[in-house]
Amino acid sequence: MVTIDAAERQTETTPRPPRRRGVRETRGYRAFQVVNGIILTLVVVVTLYPFINIVARSMSHESYIITGQVNLVPRGFTLDTYQLLMSDSMFWTNYRNTVFYTVTATVISIVMTTCYAYVLSKKQLKGRGALVGIALFTMFFTGGLIPNYVLVTSLGLKNSVWAIALPNAINVFNLLVMKAFFESLPTELEEAAAVDGLNTYGILLRIVLPLSKAIVATMVLFYAVSFWNSWFAAFLYMDRQELWPVTVYLRNLIAGATGAENVGAISEANEVQAEATLKAVTIVLTTLPILLVYPFVQRYFVRGIMLGAVKG
Amino acid sequence: MSTTTTLPPSAPAPETPTPNRPPRAPRQTWRRALRRDWQLYSLAILPLLFFLIFRYLPMLGNVIAFRRFQPGGNIFGEYWVGLRYFKMFLNDPTFWNVFTNTLVLGALTLLFCFPLPIVLALLLNEVRARKLKRFVQSVSYLPHFLSIVIVAAIVMQLLSMDGTVNQLVRAAGGEAIPFLQRPEWFRTIYVSSEIWQTVGWGTILYLAALTTIDEDLYEAARIDGANRWRQTWHVTLPGIRPTMVTLLILNIGTFMAVGFEKILLLYNPLTYPTADVLSTYLFRMGFASSNFSYAAAIGLFEAVIGLILVLSANQIARRTVGTSLW
């Protein structure tokens, strides 16, 4: 479908020669360029506006929000609500949970995915087709919510990090990306290492993985973001508030669930600041880590998704 | 998508090794393969256990759709009840409403979220200023990285009575509308938020495919007198067709599972008439009404239709345009 070559060209900074230079442009095409510029500006505005709006709301005084006066800039500027949320110990407990779940689940996923992808990349391995098929089939047919729930519950994984990490240990798309990468590595080094007496584990750890830092980093990002963002598994399997990740904290806040007792406590403690601002602040503080790392990691994601598109 | 289902070589004639196989393994028997590659196979054990337990066991767990199930009892149910639960939901008017909603939301999503990334990619491709292009790309990818909870929260804030959308409505002289309580608005809200979240990220593969189109083809088209529009129609679009077909098939594969988590976060009893889909309905049947077998029957129904859809889409694509996933 797409070659690695193209993927690299897209992400690297080598400038693409401007297409069709030197050809006299028609008036129609110049008009198109103007319209195109307007459309793309609109895309940027529509994409960014919600973020700006939320930040503005989070720093505004409640009275301006509920009268519908906040859009681009904060009205009645105040950071009190930030202080309020940051003083909520449950928010921090849940934030810590998110970090803990993300790290644990990502480590497990990386180990499992790397091992299986390495095995699948060995083209001469007997039974490889079946091993690939076992993984591929699950992309298009799954057991479904209820049997999964019954399984996780009966394995006694409820209320533990395993309920989040184990059922999602291998993402087949990521597996295929890694497999494609391993297949693209030259085999000579591995063969030489084998001649030198290194066993398979040694080859994987000392020869293959050092060559695969880029893809492992991409995989870490893919998994980490998906676990950081996940909420449903925790929502389903974590019965107690102190076990929730921060996404479930936010979910219960916006759903106005009675389970979020602390929210009520906060509102009572401070009559003036109330829900609307608090929701905005929670959204901002939950999104912040992603927004902070996004500019630095975005290109790795792009590269990863295109590696996955390579026809294996 | 990788699809090489190279079946294990079915015992070729002993004395004729296939040319591209390493010479040291003229005939691969299982015993020989295991002795030589046991370390490789050992690496596959944990992942295989994962697939077996967390992917294939739940598939078998679907037998509870045909059996009486008691929470806390046997995970495969207690005794057979045949097609009772299937008959139950086929006679349930709510089910048919939910089924229709699923089809409508799935179709709307496909109608907008499949072609829009192509349009955006084509527009981006015409931008000359590299920095501008990169900026637009970076911005438009951003929503993809947000948790669905955050997206839902943002949607709720924008659509609240005091939110931006209602500010605009009031500015235009209208009455504020409680959008999220109105069933007639749900589909619009769902599809728009889906577009907001996916359109930018969806351009990546198309943009990559666009760079692979041979410049000479444009040159030739120009010499033949084709204007920009015709160049796009006759060179660009055919050039990205394999990408389009692959993504279309993948989109069709998720047709039945329409944004379960997002709907769960955005809907409420007032919007059930348009918002409730198979997956959310079975979620409530399972967890609110504790009717696990009934919910599993609906889930199985959904999964089987999803599988049939993706298989037929793949088959049709292979027959008509010669591109397919496998």
| Confidence bin at B2 (pLDDT 50/70/90) | very low
- Give chain B positions within 8 Å (CB) of A9: 211
In sequence order, the β-bridge partners of residue B68 are B79
Quickly state the pLDDT bin for B242 (edges 50, 70, 90). confident
Give contacts of A290 with chain B, Cβ < 8 Å.
145-146
Say which range, A22-26, A59-63, A276-280, has the weakest mean pLDDT: A22-26
Shortest alpha-carbon distance between residue A293 and chain B (Å): 11
- Tell me which residue has tokens 């041979």: B214
| Contact list, B55 vs chain A (CB under 8 Å) | 138, 142-143
Domain boundaries along the sequence of chain A? 4-80, 84-308
Counting Cβ atoms within 10 Å, is residue B303 exposed (0-12), middle (13-18) or buried (19+)? buried
d(CA A278, CA A66): 12
Look-up of token digits 């944990």: B46
Helix, strand, coil % in chain A, rounded to nearest 5: 70, 0, 30
Q: Report how far residue B311's alpha carbon sits from residue A136's, in angstroms, rounded to the nearest whole number.
A: 13
pLDDT for residue B282: 92
The amino acid sitting at B107 is: A
Transcribe A141-154 into DSSP letters. ----HHHHHHHHHH
* Residues whose CB is less than 8 angstroms from the CB of residue B252 and which lie 6 or more positions away in sequence, other chains included: B110, B309, B310, B313
**C-alpha span between B86 and B66 (Å, rounded):** 8
Query: B118-159 pLDDT, tens per residue?
Result: 999 999 998 888 898 999 999 999 999 999 999 999 999 999
Q: Do A144 and B299 touch (CB under 8 A)?
A: yes
Q: Tell me whether A141 touches chain B (CB under 8 Å).
A: yes
Average pLDDT, chain A: 84
Q: Which residue has the tokens 């809907």?
A: B267
**A82-90: which pairs have CB atoms within 8 A and are 24 or more residues apart?**
A82/A58, A82/A281, A82/A285, A84/A266, A84/A269, A84/A270, A84/A273, A84/A278, A84/A281, A85/A266, A85/A278, A85/A281, A85/A282, A85/A285, A86/A285, A88/A262, A88/A266, A90/A241, A90/A242, A90/A249, A90/A262
Q: Which residues pair with B67 in a beta bridge?
A: B80
Could you tell me which CATH number the domain at A84-308 has? Answer: 1.10.3720.10
pTM: 0.86
> Which of A37-51, B10-24, B98-112 is predicted least confidently?
B10-24
Write out pLDDT tens, residues B87-96: 988 898 999 9
Neighbours of A26 (CB within 10 A): 11
pLDDT band at A311 (very low <50, low <70, confident <90, very high): very low
- For residue A26, pLDDT over 90 is answered with no
Nearest to A256 by CA among A272, A267, A245: A267
- In this prediction, residues A95-120 reach a mean pLDDT of 96
Residue B209: its chain A contacts at CB < 8 A? Answer: 1-2, 6
A301 within 8 A of A216, measured Cβ to Cβ: no
Q: Residue B80 forms beta bridges with which residues?
A: B67
Provide the token pair at B291: 């009717």
C-alpha distances in Å from residue A247, one per residue of A85, A221, A252, B22, B258 = 15, 18, 9, 52, 21
Most B CBs within 10 Å: which of A52, A101, A150, as the mutation test of the B interface?
A150
pLDDT of residue A19: 52
Q: How many angstroms separate the Cα of B293 from the Cα of each of A10, B83, B297?
A: 49, 11, 6
Please list every residue in chain B whose beta carbon sits closer than 8 Å to the beta carbon of residue A142: 55, 58-59, 303
Tell me the per-residue pLDDT of A36-71, one tens digit each, with 9 for 90 and over.
999 999 999 999 999 999 999 999 888 888 888 888
List CB contacts (< 8 A) between B282 and chain A: 145-146
Q: Are A135 and B4 in contact (CB under 8 A)?
A: no
Q: In this structure, are residues A169 and B54 in contact, taking their beta carbons and an 8 Å threshold?
A: yes
Q: Which two tokens stand for residue B35?
A: 């002795």
Question: Is A195 near chain B, with CB under 8 Å?
Answer: no
Nearest to B299 among A16, A146, A291 (CB): A146
Q: pLDDT by residue (tens digit) across B255-307?
A: 887 889 999 999 999 999 999 999 999 999 998 888 889 999 999 999 999 99
**A72 has a chain B CB within 8 A of its CB:** no
Q: For residues A220 and A197, what is the distance between their CA atoms, to the nearest angstrom?
A: 31
Burial class (CB in 10 A: 0-12, 13-18, 19+), B112: middle
- Inter-chain CB proximity B2 and A33 less than 8 Å: no
Nearest to A51 by CA among B148, B157, B299: B157
Interchain CB distance below 8 Å, A6 and B208: yes
**In the beta sheet, which residues pair with residue B79?**
B68
CB contacts under 8 A, A 164-193 vs B, are 166-167, 169-170, 176, 179-180
User: Which pLDDT score is estimated for A255?
Assistant: 81
User: What string of H, E and C letters represents the secondary structure of B4-32?
Assistant: CCCCCCCCCCCCCCCCCCCCCCCCCCHHH
State the number of CA atoms in the 13 A half-sphere of A55 facing the CB. 10
Tokens at residue B108, please? 């709307």
Is residue B67 within a helix (H) or strand (E), and if so which, with residue range?
A: strand B67-68
What letter would DSSP give residue A158?
T
Mutation target for A interface from B3, B39, B43, B305: give the one with most A CBs within 10 A.
B43
Interface touch B299/A167, C-beta < 8 Å: no
Secondary structure element (H or E) that encloses residue B79, with its range: strand B79-80
Q: Closest-CA residue in chain A for B221? A: A20
Radius of gyration of chain B (CA): 26
Contact between A117 and A222 (Cβ < 8 Å): no
| SS3 state of residue B80 | strand
**Number of cross-chain residue pairs from A and B with Cβ atoms under 8 Å apart:** 324
Helix (H, G, I), strand (E, B) or coil at B68: strand
* Nearest CB partner across the interface for A47, out of B127, B200, B265: B200
Cα–Cα dist B112/B7, whole Å: 39
d(CA A146, CA B64): 9
- Please say whether the dihedral angle defined by the alpha carbons of residues A83, A85, A89 and A92, taken in this order, is positive or negative: negative
Q: In this model, does residue B245 exceed pLDDT 50?
A: yes
Q: Do A20 and B33 touch (CB under 8 A)?
A: no
Lowest-confidence range among A100-114, A196-210, A275-289, B70-84? B70-84
Which DSSP letter does residue A167 get?
A: G
Higher pLDDT, B208 or A46: A46
Rounded CA separation A205/A268 (Å): 56
* Angle formed at CA A163 by CA A157 and CA A164, multiple of 5 degrees: 165
Note whether B157 and A280 are within 8 A (CB): yes
pLDDT over 90 percentage in chain B = 48
Whether the predicted pLDDT of B6 surpasses 50? no
Q: State phi, psi for B79 to the nearest 5 degrees.
A: -150, 160
Mean pLDDT score of chain B: 86
